[in-house]
């Protein structure tokens, strides 16, 4: 019986760990996306403060946070240039 060619090329692939994958994904992350996300979070935090909310989003109950996010989404405007 003849085996397919790919059975003979097993040395072509190196062993990859979960850590290797995590490092690869982090390295591939778009820097602009990170900056945009940081800017969006900063804007949302400013909105929370304007509404009198002093807690960080991670400390707000999900039901309250949903309301804040809804209000933010409906009220935020494009930045004037």
pLDDT tens readout for residues 24-78: 888 777 777 888 889 999 999 999 999 999 999 999 999 999 999 999 999 998 8
Task: With a cut of 80, say whether residue 23 has pLDDT above it.
Answer: yes
Domain assignment of residue 22, yes or no: no
Domain assignment of residue 56, yes or no: yes
Token pair for residue 25? Answer: 């994904």
pTM (2 d.p.): 0.60
Domain assignment of residue 11, yes or no: no
Domain assignment of residue 19, yes or no: no
Domain assignment of residue 4, yes or no: no
Q: How many whole angstroms separate alpha carbon 19 and alpha carbon 23?
A: 6
Find, among 79, 77, 78, 49, the residue nearest to 68 by Cα: 49
CB atoms within 10 A of CB 48: 19
Domain assignment of residue 78, yes or no: yes
Domain assignment of residue 9, yes or no: no
Report the number of distinct structural domains present in the chain.
Answer: 1
Instruction: Determine the structural domain holding residue 63 and report its residue range.
Output: 34-81
Long-range contacts, 34-43 (Cβ 8 Å, 24+): 43/76
Domain assignment of residue 14, yes or no: no
């Amino acid at each position: 019986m003849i085996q397919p060619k790919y059975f003979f090329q097993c040395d072509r692939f190196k062993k990859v760990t979960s850590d290797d994958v995590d490092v690869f994904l982090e390295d591939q992350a778009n820097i602009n996306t990170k900056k945009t996300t940081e800017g969006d979070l900063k804007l949302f935090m400013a909105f929370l403060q304007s509404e009198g909310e002093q807690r960080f989003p991670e400390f707000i109950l999900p039901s309250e946070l949903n309301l804040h996010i809804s209000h933010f989404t409906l009220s935020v405007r494009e930045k004037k240039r």
